Chain A
Amino acid sequence: MLNTTLNEGFTIFPTLKRIPGVALMLFACMLVFSILNADFLSVPNLMNIGVQSTILLMISLPMTLVIMAEGIDMSIGALLTFCGVIAAYFLALTHNLPLAICMAILVGLVIGIVNGAIIVYLNMPPFVVTLGMLGICQSLALIVTDGQTISDVGNTIGLAYTGNFLGIPLPIYFAIVSYVVIHILLYHTRFGTYVFAIGGNRDALKLAGVRVNLHHIAIYALSGMMAGLASILLTARMNSGHPTAAIGMEFDAIAAVIVGGTSFEKGNGWLFGTFLGVITVGVLRNGLNLIGVQSSIQVASIGLLVLVALLLDSFKSKA
Chain B
Amino acid sequence: MTLPILELRSISKFFPGIVALDKVSFDVYSGEVHMLLGENGAGKSTLMKVLCGAYQADGGEIYHQGQPVQIHHPGDARNLGIAVIFQEFSLVPYLNIAQNIFLGREYSGSIPGTLDHSRMHQEAKHWLRVLSLDIDTHTLVHTLGVAQQQMVEIAKALSQDAKILVMDEPTAALSDRETTLLFEMIRKLQSEGVAIIYISHRMAEVFSMGDRITVLRDGKQVGSADPKTTTPDELVQMMVGRRVDMAYARNFQSQPGRVALKLSHLCSENGIEDISLEVREGEIVGLAGLVGAGRTEVARATFGVDKVSSGTVEIFGKNRTGEPFQSVDMGLALIPESRKTEGLALIRSVEENIILSGLNKIFPSSWINNRKVQQISEDLIRKLRIATPSGKQSTQLLSGGNQQKIVIGKWLTTDSKIFIFDEPTRGIDVGAKAEIFALIYKLVEDGAAVLMISSELSEIVNVCDKAYVMREGKISGLLEKEALNEENILKLGMTDA
Chain A contact residues, CB within 8 Å of chain B? 1, 3-9, 184, 188-190, 193, 196-197, 199-201, 203-210, 266-269
Task: Give Cα A31 to B100, complex, Å.
Answer: 41
5 intermolecular pairs with C-beta atoms under 8 Å apart? A7-B94, A197-B92, A197-B95, A266-B94, A267-B92
With A206-B74, A208-B105, A209-B74 as contacts: A200 and B143 at CB distance below 8 Å = no
Alpha-carbon separation in the docked complex, A200 to B140 (Å): 12
The CA-CA distance from A266 to B92 in the complex, in Å, is 8
Q: By the criterion CB–CB under 8 Å, are B95 and A196 in contact?
A: yes
Tell me whether B139 and A267 are in contact (CB under 8 A): no
Q: Determine if B103 is an interface residue (Cβ-Cβ < 8 Å).
A: yes
Q: Which residues of B from 132 to 156 have beta carbons under 8 Å from A?
A: 136, 138-140, 142-143
Residue of A184, A196, A203, A205 touching B94 (CB-CB under 8 A): A196
B86 in contact (CB, < 8 A) = yes
Look across to chain B and name the residue whose beta carbon is closest to the beta carbon of A191: B113
Question: How far is the CB of B86 from the nearest CB of chain A, in Å?
Answer: 7
Contact A7 B90 (CB under 8 A): no
Residues of chain B lying within 8 A (CB to CB) of residue A203: 54, 90
Within 8 Å of chain A (Cβ to Cβ): is B84? Answer: yes
Residues in A neighbouring B92, C-beta threshold 8 A: 196-197, 200-201, 204-205, 267
Interface of B is mostly: loop
Asked if A210 and B95 sit within 8 Å, CB to CB, the answer is no
A209/B78 in contact, CB under 8 A: yes
What CA separation (Å) do A3 and B77 show in the bound complex?
Answer: 35
- A267/B94 in contact, CB under 8 A: yes
**Residues B94 and A208 in contact, CB atoms below 8 Å apart:** no
- Which residues of B line the A interface, CB within 8 A? 52-54, 73-75, 77-78, 84, 86, 89-96, 99, 103-106, 109, 113-115, 117, 136, 138-140, 142-143
Question: What is the distance, in angstroms, from B290's C-beta to the closest C-beta of chain A?
Answer: 22
Enumerate chain A residues within 8 angstroms of B96, measured Cβ to Cβ. 6-7
Q: Complex formed: what's the CA distance from A209 to B72 in Å? A: 11
For the complex, what is the distance from the CA of A174 to the CA of B247, rounded to whole Å?
Answer: 70
* Cβ contact of A7, chosen from B53, B113, B140, cutoff 8 A: B140
* Neighbouring A residues of B54 by C-beta, 8 Å: 203, 206-207
Identify A207's interface contact among B74, B94, B117, B142, CB under 8 A. B74
Q: Please give, as numbers and ranges, the residues of chain B lying within 8 Å of A8 by CB-CB distance.
A: 99, 115, 117
Cβ contacts under 8 Å, B93 to chain A:
200-201, 266-268
Look across to chain B and name the residue whose beta carbon is closest to the beta carbon of A5: B140
Beta-carbon contact of A4 and B103 below 8 Å: no
Residue pair B104, A189 in contact (C-beta under 8 Å): no
A210 / chain B contacts, CB cutoff of 8 Å? 103-104
On whether the beta carbons of B52 and A207 are closer than 8 Å, the reply is yes
CA distance A190 to B90 in the complex (A): 18
A315 to B91, CA, bound (A): 28
Which single member of A4, A208, A267, A269 contacts B74 (CB below 8 Å)? Answer: A208
Give complex CA distance A184, B96 in Å. Answer: 17
Q: How far is the CA of A74 from the CA of B74 in the complex (A)?
A: 34
Question: Are A4 and B90 closer than 8 Å at their CB atoms?
Answer: no
B90 A193 Cβ-Cβ under 8 A: no
How near does chain A come to B350, taking the closest CB pair, in angstroms?
26
Distance between Cα atoms of A3 and B142 in the complex (Å)? 9
A102 shortest CB reach to chain B, Å: 22
On chain B, the residues within 8 Å of A3 by CB distance are 140, 143
In the A-B complex, the 5 residue pairs with the closest CB atoms: A208-B104, A209-B75, A204-B90, A200-B92, A209-B74
Report whether A4 and B95 are in contact in the complex, using a CB–CB cutoff of 8 Å.
no
Selected from B91, B105, B139, the residue in CB contact (under 8 A) with A201 is B91
Hey, which chain A residues are within 8 Å of B109, CB to CB?
A: 188
Contact B94 A200 (CB under 8 A): yes
- Inter-chain pairs besides A267-B92, A268-B93, 4 sampled, C-beta below 8 Å: A201-B89, A201-B93, A209-B53, A209-B78
Hey, which chain A residues are within 8 Å of B94, CB to CB?
Answer: 7, 196, 199-200, 266-269
Alpha-carbon separation in the docked complex, A8 to B95 (Å):
9
Say whether A204 contacts B115, CB under 8 Å.
no
In Å, the complex CA distance between A188 and B115 comes to 5
Residues in B neighbouring A205, C-beta threshold 8 A: 92, 103-104
**Given known A-B contacts A7-B95, A200-B95, A1 and B143 have beta carbons under 8 A apart:** yes
A99 CB to closest chain B CB (Å) equals 28
The interface residues of chain B lying within 8 Å CB-to-CB of A204 are 89-92, 103
CB-CB < 8 A to B113: which residues of A? 189
Bound-state CA distance A202–B52 (Å) is 16
- Choose from A6, A197, A199, A267 the contact partner of B103 (Cβ within 8 Å): A197
Docked pose: A304 CA to B2 CA in angstroms: 73
Distance (whole angstroms) from the CB of B115 to the closest CB of chain A: 6
By a CB distance below 8 angstroms, the chain A residues around B74 are 206-209
CA of A111 to CA of B72, assembled, Å: 32
Nearest CB of chain A from residue B111's CB, rounded to whole Å: 8
Q: Contact between A207 and B90 (Cβ–Cβ < 8 Å)?
A: yes
- Which residue of the partner chain A has the closest CB to B74? A209
Measured CA separation A208–B115 after assembly (Å):
17
Most buried by B among A8, A203, A266: A8
Contact of A4 among B77, B84, B136 (CB under 8 A): B136
**Of B89, B106, B136, B139, the contact of A190 (CB 8 Å cutoff):** B106
Given contacts A5-B140, A7-B96, contact A188 B78 (CB under 8 A): no
A1-B143, A188-B109, A189-B113 known; A7+B91 contact, CB < 8 A: no
Closest to B117 in A: A8
Could you tell me the distance between the alpha carbons of A8 and B99 in the complex, rounded to whole angstroms? 10
Inter-chain contacts of A184 with B (CB < 8 A): 114
CA–CA, A6 to B104, complex, Å?
20
| A4 close to B115 (CB less than 8 A) | no
**B103→A7 contact, CB < 8 A:** no
Q: Which residues from B are CB-within-8-Å of A206?
A: 54, 74
B103 CB to closest chain A CB (Å) equals 5
A44→B93 CA distance, assembly (Å): 43
Q: Which residue of B lies closest to A269 (CB)?
A: B94
A208 with B103: CB separation less than 8 A: yes
Whether B104 lies near A209 (C-beta < 8 A) is: yes
Cα separation A203 to B87 with both chains bound (whole Å): 13
Interface centre among B78, B89, B103, by most chain A C-beta atoms within 10 angstroms, is B103
Are B105's CB and A207's CB within 8 A?
no
Query: Which residue from chain B places its CB closest to the CB of A7 in the assembled complex?
Result: B96
CB distance from A219 to the nearest CB of B (A): 15
Q: Which residue of B lies closest to A263 (CB)?
A: B94
| Bound Cα distance from A196 to B95, whole angstroms | 7
On whether the beta carbons of A4 and B138 are closer than 8 Å, the reply is yes
Nearest residue (CB) in B for A268 is B94
Measured CA separation A4–B75 after assembly (Å): 31
Residues of the B chain whose Cβ atoms lie less than 8 Å from the Cβ of A266: 93-94, 142
Shortest distance from the beta carbon of B294 to any chain A beta carbon, whole Å? 18
Query: Which chain A residues border B95 with CB–CB below 8 Å?
Result: 7, 193, 196-197, 200
Alpha-carbon distance A189/B139, docked complex (angstroms): 19
Chain B contacts for A5, CB-based, 8 A:
138, 140
| Measured CA separation A2–B169 after assembly (Å) | 30
